[in-house]
Amino acid sequence: MEDVMTADNLILKPARPSLLRLLSEDVSCVFQRDPAARSRFEVLTTYPGVHAILLQRIAHSLWTFGLRYLARLLSWFARFLTNIDIHPGATIGRRFFIDHGAGVVIGETSVIGDDVTLYHGVTLGGTTWNKGKRHPTLGDGVVVGAGAKILGAISLGKNVRVGANSVVVKDVPADRTVVGIPAKIVLRTEEAGADNIYGINLDHHLIPDPVGRAIACLMERIEVLEGQLRKQGEPVDGQCHTCEADDLCGTEVARVMRKA
């Protein structure tokens, strides 16, 4: 019996762009995220991040066709040329950009969405000897700051921003900014800043200091309590006898932390 095509079993999938289209988009997106880019010729000839991506696209095609050794050889050449190590098995979406690029490492089972931006020193690493999925998955629009490490088979949702030198070891919901070791959510992405004219938000440097805020709150509370004690005639010693820098003790700390 022949299968009948109905609305229930018809699934429309967007056509996968050609390799040339992907390469063209990788070059074009540089102008959206790097104001130093002046011309396509300059980008094609002097940007190691672009070179690494172009070669990885080709190596991934070879990997997909089963030409694993040729893919690894091309990947080795790309690393030798650019100091960027991207495994040919990694799945990378459209308009991927690596700024500067030195020291970037992307593991075999990494999955990267569209419009993702990585800065230098970023690692998408594995945490297990198992051959299955062991590297991160990054959603569309993710921005990862310089030196950050994202480890394990975890997922970062759309538009997540990772602060520089952070270490991410747990899943992160969409539209969040994370910072620290281990990384913790510090704010929603829409609070960080506005998109640029191309719809790309690169303001991953706008990171609050939750520890500083908590200390400032505690110092302010101490001020209030000491004030109440003074009103009741109780003796209050406002100096910290365990700290040599007396000018940064007591209420002065609160003042400094509030300014920060």
**In this structure, is residue 201 part of a structural domain?**
no
The CATH number that applies at residue 164 is 2.160.10.10
**In this structure, is residue 12 part of a structural domain?**
no
**In this structure, is residue 227 part of a structural domain?**
yes
**In this structure, is residue 46 part of a structural domain?**
yes
Query: pLDDT tens digit string along 188-244?
Result: 755 555 555 455 665 655 666 666 677 878 888 888 887 787 787 777 666 655 555
Q: What average pLDDT does the segment 140-148 reach?
A: 92
One domain, residues 187 and 216: no
Percent of the chain whose pLDDT exceeds 70? 75
**In this structure, is residue 200 part of a structural domain?**
no
Q: Residues 125, 107: contact at Cβ < 8 Å?
A: yes
From CA 50, how far away is CA 22, in angstroms rounded?
Answer: 12
Sheet holding 167-168, edge to edge: 85-86, 105-106, 123-125, 149-151, 167-168
One domain, residues 140 and 223: no
All residues at 6 or more sequence positions from 136 whose CB lies less than 8 Å from its CB, including other chains: 110, 111, 124, 150, 151, 152, 153, 154, 155, 156, 168
One domain, residues 155 and 41: yes
For residue 132, pLDDT beyond 50: yes
Query: pLDDT tens digit string along 153-181?
Result: 999 999 999 988 999 999 999 988 899 88
**In this structure, is residue 52 part of a structural domain?**
yes
> Taking all residues of the chain, what is their mean pLDDT, rounded to a whole number?
80
Instruction: Supply the pLDDT for residue 35.
Output: 83
Query: pLDDT tens digit string along 178-203?
Result: 998 888 888 775 555 555 545 566 56
Q: Residues 127, 107: contact at Cβ < 8 Å?
A: no
Distances (CA, A) of 162 to 144, 205, 217, 247, 259: 5, 9, 26, 36, 25
Print the domain residue range for 247.
Answer: 210-259
- How many C-beta neighbours within 10 Å does residue 112 have? 24
Total structural domains within the chain: 2
Entry pTM: 0.70
**In this structure, is residue 2 part of a structural domain?**
no
> Tokens standing for 152?
């394990």
Instruction: Supply the pLDDT for residue 124.
Output: 95
One domain, residues 41 and 88: yes
Instruction: Supply the pLDDT for residue 208.
Output: 63
pLDDT band at 3 (very low <50, low <70, confident <90, very high): very low
One domain, residues 120 and 165: yes
One domain, residues 25 and 148: yes
Q: Which residue has the higher pLDDT, 79 or 185?
A: 79
Query: pLDDT tens digit string along 4-14?
Result: 444 444 444 45
From CA 90, how far away is CA 79, in angstroms rounded?
Answer: 15
One domain, residues 95 and 186: yes
One domain, residues 32 and 72: yes
